[in-house]
């Protein structure tokens, strides 16, 4: 496994040491886990943005979308355990 060097401020290094100690893991394990979590979050965000852009393009190509108020009402009804009709896509082109 390749080695990577990190330059941390004294304060951040001490905080990492303290946090690792509280979790009962080595400082190294703590930092590896932190990098893993940050990497996963960045990948998840990138996928979310890519999915949103694809959905936007699909909506623009189709010329249809959903009324936000109808979508919110549907979600609120479902959360409340009520049956609700799914909103219908409507044309937003003139």
Would residue 1 count as lying in a domain?
A: no
pLDDT of residue 92: 84
Distance (Å, rounded) from C-alpha 31 to C-alpha 35? 6
Would residue 82 count as lying in a domain?
A: yes
Would residue 3 count as lying in a domain?
A: no
Judged against a pLDDT cut of 70, whether residue 94 lies above it is answered with no
Would residue 55 count as lying in a domain?
A: yes
Would residue 88 count as lying in a domain?
A: yes
In a shared domain, residues 23 and 49 = yes
Q: How confident is the model at residue 34 (pLDDT cuts 50, 70, 90)?
A: very high
Judged against a pLDDT cut of 70, whether residue 81 lies above it is answered with yes
Cβ neighbours of residue 3 under 8 Å, at least 6 residues apart? Answer: none
pLDDT of residue 93: 78
In a shared domain, residues 50 and 80 = no
Q: Which domain holds residue 83?
A: 63-94
In a shared domain, residues 45 and 80 = no
Q: How confident is the model at residue 60 (pLDDT cuts 50, 70, 90)?
A: very high
Please tell me the total count of domains within the chain.
2
């Amino acid at each position: 496994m390749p080695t990577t060097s990190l330059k941390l401020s004294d304060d951040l290094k001490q905080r990492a040491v303290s946090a690792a100690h509280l979790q009962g893991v080595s400082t190294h394990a703590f930092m590896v886990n932190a990098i893993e979590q940050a990497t996963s979050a960045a990948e998840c965000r990138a996928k979310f943005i890519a999915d949103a852009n694809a959905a936007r393009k699909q909506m623009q190509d189709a010329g249809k979308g959903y009324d936000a108020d109808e979508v919110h009402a549907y979600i609120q009804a479902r959360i409340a355990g009520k049956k609700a009709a799914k909103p219908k896509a409507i044309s937003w082109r003139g």
